[in-house]
Each structure stands twice: as C-alpha cells, then as structure tokens.
Amino acid sequence: MSLFKNYFGLGGSKPTAQDEKTPVRALPASWYTSQEMYELERRAIFSRKWLLTTHKARIPNPGDWVRYDVAGYQFIIVQDRKGNINAMHNICRHRAFPVVTKEEGNSYVFSCKYHGWSYGLAGNLAKAPGYQELAGFDKSQNNLFPIHVHVDRNGFIWVNLDAAEKPEIAWNDDFLGIDEQERFEHYNFEDYVFDHHWEMEGEWNWKILADNYNECYHCPTAHPDIPSIAD
C-alpha cells in the first residue's frame, strides 16, 4: 500500500532506523517465486486492502462498466441508473461462468451467456430461466457477490474485496486525508474526460513492480533527469 501512498504524496510509513549491528537483508528470493506465498498474499493483501482502480470519468454514463482482473480476482465496476458506482465479482451465481467477457461496455443488464441468468447494475438477480418459478427459489439470495466501493472526493474509485458485510479495514484506516491534499485544489476533476488506459503484461511477481516504484535507487542510471526535479 505504500506504493499508493507515495504516489499521492503521503509517503507511507516512515523508515525505521537501522541497527548498525544488523546486516542489510532483502526479502528471500523464494517470496518472489513461491506459489504458496502468492496465495497467502492474495488472501492477506488483495482480499483485504483497499485497491485503487480507476476514476469515475472512465464510466461517466449509466450502464458504463469496466472489467478488472487483480491477483486472479475478476470483477466489474459499473455506474447504475441512479449514478451510483457499484462493483461485483464477475462470476455468475449458477455455474460460475463469467458474466461479462469483454473489457468494457455499456449495458443495463448483465446476461450470462451460459444459461441466460441476468443481473441488474447493482448485481441483483433479474432473471433465472427455469429456476425463478421453482418453489423455494429466492432470487434475492442469488445476486452477484458484491464488492465494497469507495469513491473519494476527487472521483477516484477504490475497491475492497473483503467478503464480510463490512470490510475489516476501513478506507480511512489506510488513506484518511489522501484526497484532501492541497495540490488537488488546483484541479477540477469534473472538467476531465477519460482518454485511454495503458496495461503492461509480464511474467513476474507483483512485488518486483512495487519494489521498482517504491525506490529511486535506479533513478540516477535509468532516469537521470528525475533526481533534478524530485526529492
């Protein structure tokens, strides 16, 4: 999470003083290659922490949606008819088939292409062919699994995949004040329109990318101009 805090100027946690008798050590190499460690991180970090995804300018109209895949968790972020931003797992409650297969779009109904189960923009089950007439079938118990959403004062959309009704970690616990920095006062985000997004795929552990952005040891060599304009 210090990656996000550094990006927004909070700097994350302050470094602790090094004991001169303690040798400097890096994380074990196995932490970057172990499948068991990655699964632990998925449960302890990506399933519990607030994740910055996009800005509401990317889904400006009712029905606009975008699909995300974070640490193997695929989910949808959508603006509903009332202007609310909702998020839900991209998993049909019937046979776990993806509800959407494209990267983004505009829809007023999410319809699974396997058996035709349909959902509203809040994830509520709208139609379940062959099931909704069955005695004892409760549509309200078969909605898409919801994801916690926080839209900060500048319009950035954060999600938390904690399955509990209330996430264990509140957004304010990690990011209180991050959207109230003085530098944001110079921008009216309502005047901005979404232009494009950029993705980078590669066969590496996520911590390698985070390590790169959390240090500037490589800057004098790889980015010689940065040290002259940043502290």
Q: pLDDT truncated to tens, each residue of the chain (231 aa)? A: 444 455 444 545 555 565 667 788 888 999 999 999 999 999 999 999 999 999 999 999 999 999 999 999 999 999 999 999 999 999 999 999 999 999 999 999 999 999 999 999 999 999 999 998 899 999 999 999 999 999 999 999 999 999 999 999 999 999 999 999 998 989 999 999 999 998 888 888 999 989 988 888 888 899 888 877 766
Residue 211 lies in a domain: no
Residue 122 lies in a domain: yes
Range of the domain at 70: 32-201
CB atoms within 10 A of CB 152: 18
0.75 surpassed by pTM: yes
CATH number where 46 lies: 2.102.10.10
Query: Domain count of the chain?
Result: 1
Residue owning tokens 């209180």 = 176
Taking alpha carbons only, the member of 1, 48, 52, 10 closest to residue 155 is 52
**Burial bucket for residue 157 (CB in 10 Å: 0-12, 13-18, 19+):** buried
Residue 119 lies in a domain: yes
Residue 3 lies in a domain: no
Residue 46 lies in a domain: yes
Helix (H) / strand (E) containing 2: helix 2-7
